[in-house]
Amino acid sequence: MATSAVPAAIDALLAILRAAPALGGVRVIDGPPGVNFTEKDRIYIGWSPASEQAVEIQQRFASAGARLRDEDAAITCYIETRRGDKDMSLRRSRAFEMLAAVETALRATGAAPAAPTLNGSVLWAELTAGSLVQVQDNGAMSGLVFTVAYRARI
């Protein structure tokens, strides 16, 4: 019996985003950065530079009898886009374009009917809160911390 849906949910989220056509050319990374990547557009799943927390989890009994539990969780994610120029407007627009692609990838389509359930690993998932970071350091950089929240029955 699983103690949590977190491992399967993160694996499914990675698979969905890596396969999303609108994110072609974007590096989707599992967890914190381990090396300097050359890609200018990246999405980190289970990490943000603002916090070491990867996932926040809450569980409770799903019904009388204590046989099942409901799990609500929020997976921390981070979008980063940078270039060598100083055009912050372009970086900000690109960050939100990438966020829109994430949200679209989590919606059910004929080709991906199980996307909102993270390929069946949870009951439902959705993109929730975010916060924008902007930096001018060797060129413009925009970062966008966001969460993918889900509910699972375990």
Q: pLDDT tens digits, residue range 52-99?
A: 889 999 998 887 667 788 999 999 999 999 988 999 999 999 999 999
Per-residue pLDDT, averaged over 32-45, amounts to 87
**C-alpha to C-alpha distance for 29 and 132, rounded to whole angstroms:** 19
- For tokens 């055009």, name the residue: 87
Task: Give the residue with greater pLDDT, 4 vs 112.
Answer: 4
Whether 1 has a pLDDT exceeding 70, the answer reads: no
Domain ranges of the chain: 6-139
Q: What is the pTM of this model?
A: 0.92
pLDDT tier, 109 (very low <50, low <70, confident <90, very high otherwise):
confident
Q: Tokens at residue 76, please?
A: 């921390």
Residue type, 37: F
**C-alpha to C-alpha distance for 21 and 16, rounded to whole angstroms:** 10
pLDDT tens column, 118-150: 999 999 999 998 899 999 988 999 999 999 999
Q: Would you say how long the chain is, in residues? A: 154
| pLDDT mean across residues, the chain | 92
